[in-house]
Chains A and B, each alone.
Chain A
């Protein structure tokens, strides 16, 4: 304050030089503000474009086309001996029921090639649906009921408008005769779009209409739980030790530099480390969430340590002194006073570290979690994959219908990330204390 008065003391406030300088400084400020605003607007526009392209492609993944057919649960086909033996019913040829229903609907189709095309209107998942229906209610046998069956992926693409009906026939995956069949079904009101429950309850599949992200979600959950169980306690303990107990010396400085460096190491390196230690030395099972979690824990540790140290450092010294002054040991001061007070900050850091781990694929590549796994994992030792890997695998699949599945999976992953980050913000707002 005093400096400024001194500076301007000798100059004339109304001189031309001063006004010019002032105008220049004001212009510079306006310019800077505009550039800043422009930068933010650019970032927002790009984000909007990204989100728009994902959402516009992806929202259709949450609905799926169904074809309603009058299925005759003929005893001849599924229970020839009339025993109603559950084992026999399980192994029966339910696809035949679907084929019979389609033939009955389109009796004019006879050639082998045409029949194949006709049968592909309905997904091969239909047989499983019928099997489950009969298992639940064996009385269905011998009756004819309308059943909604999952449509094949090409049919699904047509109803969702992804295949241009106006294109030349040769250029289309769905030919004229299939479109004609579809039109007939449509006219009879047999085609419907419904919420795609399978997307959230099925494992991966090579048939886009059957593919779901349940396997990947469970895999991500197991992996993150392992990561948290390992990284959180070790990270917090390390931070407490380094902040509260470690003497300041060369060795500890070295450790500190190393931790900061590790936070910046590319994640694939941790994958290689995981491969070398957990698979080649410890002989843990390949592709298991256990190994994935351990590997991601290595990656997340530095982030958690840094966040936890910052949170611990933010606790004022007066708390420490008060605790020690009342006769608490150093450990008691750390665990009874400093740790609880720094917990909101530590948790925020941990959640951010975990959401980073949730989005990671590169380290998992090395330990075999980038794989086609159809079964939903039942334990941390079963082969599993995680959500970003599922997105990567679908993005790489040739079938057109996987494009929307990819975007749909991205939307789900984004949802989880937003939830986790919102939780971090909530914890900070709710519990953080300002000193």
Chain B
């Protein structure tokens, strides 16, 4: 008796498995990609779904690189329709895409995200320059015309105007898009202010990159995982520590944390939007054009994302911490996106 039930159960499951293997057509948009764009993408997905005409898209947070890998894996219905990215698609990724039959891609730039250095409100805000950020975090720094292992232990070692506390920075691990952008914008920006390194850049690009992009591993920089809330909690507990994360987390925790000034500019909504704040990046999503028309709602989803009520100056995405594009940029992005303009890499 018991055996028969088991047998039936197995047979039923096997039948479902076999059946669902054939059901390839989809009526639900699938989105993958960056964890930074995830909060914005999900907000749009929800608003799009609650209109009632289409199913709510499924949004996975896989990281920018992971998302593009899935996106470029092929053209069939088992691959995602849209991938979010906190950086532009790379040439190599476009090539991988093309090799797997994904040739028509539309790029949609949705806005900016600032990367902030922040500490607890119980202490004074830091006033840093990119050069000082580099000196505090690089694995090797130029001293007396040579690259040596980073000797700085306290902030005041770098510059007497900075507080005499141990350098202790909590930041994202190398798999994170935030880390990529931070290294590229802040660290590389700081590295360029050293003559030794600018010369190195001219003579040996690779060596410059490895010098500028290497973060110290002697305990002063602590990889705190992808969870930015965790960094926020640790900063509350330890007022000497400094954290690196996206602007939206500073925005949500403005009662506990303060952003450090970089180059004299405070990380505020306005300063990031008009480009004064130096460590900010663009956010994108990429659409697989061949899926438009096959999966219902993609066009409408793009329209929702690029509508004024979403990514506009007072749209609901700005409430989630997205920093909007300028009026003219938005207009252009909207027209291009709705026309599914093909991707152009410069």
Contact = CB atoms under 8 A, between A and B. Distances in A.
Contacts of A398: 39, 228-229, 248-249, 251-252, 320-321
A368 interface: yes
Given A372-B45, A396-B229, A230 B13 contact: yes
A383 B35 CA distance: 19
A109 B72 CA distance: 51
A380 B16 contact: yes
Contacts of A265: none
Given A373-B56, A400-B252, A383 B16 contact: no
Nearest to A226: B13
A266 interface: no
A258 B58 CA distance: 38
B56 A374 contact: yes
B249 A283 contact: no
B58 A285 contact: no
A286 B78 contact: yes
A396 B34 CA distance: 13
B38 to A, nearest CB: 7
Contacts of A433: none
A353 to B, nearest CB: 17
A327 to B, nearest CB: 21
A122 interface: no
A164 interface: yes
B255 A164 contact: yes
Nearest to B230: A395
B227 A395 contact: yes
A134 B319 CA distance: 30
Contacts of A171: 121, 254-255
Contacts of A403: 229
Interface in A63-98: 90
- For chain A, what secondary structure do more than half of its interface residues adopt (helix, strand, loop), or is it mixed? loop
Interface in A285-309: 285-288, 290, 294
A393 B58 CA distance: 14
A381 B254 CA distance: 42
Interface string A159-178: 00001100100111100000
A412 interface: no
A395 B12 CA distance: 37
Interface stretch (B2-10, B99-107, B166-174): B2-10
A399 B320 CA distance: 8
B327 interface: no
A99 interface: no
Contacts of B319: 120
A190 interface: no
Contacts of A399: 252
Interface residues of A, number: 49
Contacts of A172: 254-255
Contacts of B43: 206
A120 B320 CA distance: 13
Contacts, number: 111
B9 to A, nearest CB: 5
Given A233-B6, A395-B229, A372 B16 contact: no
B345 interface: no
Contacts of A230: 10, 13
Contacts of A207: 46
B145 interface: no
Contact of B21 (A283, A286, A294): A283
B17 interface: yes
B154 to A, nearest CB: 28
A120 to B, nearest CB: 8
Given A206-B320, A397-B39, A371 B249 contact: no
A395 B314 CA distance: 27
B56 A375 contact: yes
Contact of A290 (B16, B121, B254): B16
Interface centre among A279, A368, A395 (most CB of B within 10 A): A368
A285 B20 contact: yes
A23 B271 CA distance: 76
A284 interface: yes
Nearest to A112: B314
A116 interface: yes
B291 to A, nearest CB: 14
A371 B319 CA distance: 22
Nearest to B3: A335
Interface centre among A90, A226, A286 (most CB of B within 10 A): A286
Nearest to B24: A283
A398 B9 CA distance: 43
B28 interface: yes
B60 interface: yes
Contact of A370 (B16, B60, B254): B60
B191 to A, nearest CB: 30
Contacts of A375: 49, 55-56
Nearest to A399: B252
Contact of B38 (A120, A284, A372): A372
B60 A229 contact: no
A205 interface: yes
Contacts of A286: 30, 78
Contact of B17 (A163, A290, A395, A396): A290
A374 B49 CA distance: 8
Contacts of B346: none
Contact of A206 (B23, B24, B46, B60): B46
Given A284-B20, A400-B252, A279 B78 contact: yes
Interface in B28-80: 28, 30, 35, 38-39, 41-43, 45-46, 49-50, 52, 55-56, 58-61, 78
A226 B249 CA distance: 38
Contact of A381 (B23, B41, B59): B23
B123 interface: no
A287 to B, nearest CB: 6
Given A283-B78, A284-B17, A163 B255 contact: yes
Interface in B153-170: none
A372 B58 contact: yes
Interface in A375-412: 375, 380-381, 383, 393, 395-400, 403
Contact of B45 (A288, A374, A381, A396): A374
Given A116-B314, A374-B49, 4 more contacts: A206-B42, A229-B13, A284-B17, A286-B30
5 contacts: A116-B314, A171-B121, A171-B255, A285-B20, A372-B38
Interface of A: 90, 116, 120, 128, 163-164, 167, 170-173, 205-207, 226, 229-230, 232-233, 279, 282-288, 290, 294, 335, 339, 368, 370-375, 380-381, 383, 393, 395-400, 403
Q: Closest 5 interchain pairs by CB?
A: A233-B6, A374-B56, A371-B60, A372-B42, A372-B59
